[in-house]
Amino acid sequence: MLRRRGVRLLGTMAVGGAAYAAGHSAARGQANEEAQNAQIAELQAQAYQAPPPMQQQAYAPPPVAAPPPAPAASSMDDKIEQLQKLAELKATGLLTDAELAVQKDRILSS
């Protein structure tokens, strides 16, 4: 009778161990499947998103036009008018003697 109990106990242990292993394997397989489903869902979400704004611009902006060239030579009337304005600024105290000389040279050299 003692032998029978030991055999039954071993049989029960074997069945229980096999059931545990099968359940554990099924749980691992289910976890792997859920992870794969999550990855697939993430890739699909990325595929349906709009492309980044930098990729939407296909062409470079047109080049900026160069500024128009300065007039070739000022007329004598323009120079006289500018010198008179400088004299007024000097009289009001807004220009020093050095600043007046620099501006006068600039006007007369153009």
pLDDT of res. 1: 47
Give which of 107, 70, 110, 109 is closest to 89, Cα–Cα.
107
Which residue ranges make up each domain of the chain?
Answer: 2-50, 76-109
pTM: 0.34
Residue 86: other Cβ atoms inside 10 A = 19
Chain-centre distance of CA 3, in angstroms? 77
Rounded Cα gap, residues 43 and 37, in angstroms = 10
Decide: 103 and 86 in contact? Cβ < 8 Å: yes
Span 6-20, pLDDT tens digits: 557 667 777 777 777
Give which of 101, 72, 68 is closest to 86, Cα–Cα.
101
pLDDT of res. 84: 92
Average pLDDT over residues 34-59: 76
CA dist 48 to 38, 42, 53, 56, 79, Å? 16, 10, 15, 15, 67
Q: Which range is least confidently modeled, 15-24, 40-49, 60-69?
A: 60-69
